[in-house]
Each structure stands twice: as C-alpha cells, then as structure tokens.
Amino acid sequence: MFPENGTQKIIEHESPPLSEEEQEALNDILSSCDDVYFKPRKRKQYIMDSSDLRKYQVMGFEDYVSYCGYLSVNGLNNLVRDFDAVYGDKESE
C-alpha cells in the first residue's frame, strides 16, 4: 500500500489475553472439533514517516488510479488525462 523504502517501521505485539466469555467459547469449540487449535496472532503496529507520502496515500487510497476514480465518481476534478488511466481510454493516448 505504501512505499517500503525505509520510511516504514513495523512493531509486533502479543495479542491481549482473552476475556472469560471468549475463552469459554473457544474451549467449547476446541473440545467439540477434531484437528482444531488456537494460535493467537501477533498485532502489528505500522509507524511511517509521512513526510514523503503523496496526497492520495495520505487520504488512504492504495494507488493513484483509485484516487482518480474517487474524484471522477464524485465530480471533484476535471483531470481528463488522469481519468483515462481509470477508464482505460486508449484513444486519447
């Protein structure tokens, strides 16, 4: 989603302990099914240097084409040349 050129740091944390209700439900499932086990996932925290991000990345879009599509659908911009990438218009190239 975002560039991985050293501007991103990932920190992994252990999952928090289950509540009593969650533990009871889990024990019920584990005892009633064969070949089922519980392996808690680690939580990941992403720390990014946002000084070199582009506007569409700061707004949460995965790529520029998605950002242009959003602008087109909502009538927010008239960048026809950029919308060609969204709609695949080969005649304008």
Is 3 found in the same domain as 41?
yes
Q: Are 14 and 42 in contact (CB under 8 A)?
A: yes
Domain count, the chain: 2
Is 69 found in the same domain as 46?
no
Q: Is 58 exposed, middle or buried (0-12, 13-18, 19+ CB in 10 A)?
A: exposed
- How do residues 24-80 score in pLDDT, each as one tens digit? 999 999 999 888 889 999 998 888 777 777 888 888 887 888 888 888 787 776 655
Residues in the chain: 93
Whether residue 92 has pLDDT greater than 60: no
Domain boundaries, position 37: 1-50
Could you tell me which residue, 70 or 18, shows the higher pLDDT?
18
Is 32 found in the same domain as 2?
yes
Is 27 found in the same domain as 13?
yes
- Identify the pLDDT of residue 70: 85
- Residue 57: CB atoms within 10 A of its CB come to 18
Is 44 found in the same domain as 62?
no
Q: Which helix (H) or strand (E) holds 58?
A: helix 55-58
In whole angstroms, give the CA distance from residue 80 to residue 74: 14
Is 64 found in the same domain as 26?
no
Is 70 found in the same domain as 30?
no
Is 63 found in the same domain as 78?
yes
Is 58 found in the same domain as 44?
no
Q: Where are the beta strands (DSSP E) in 1-93?
A: 8-13, 43-48
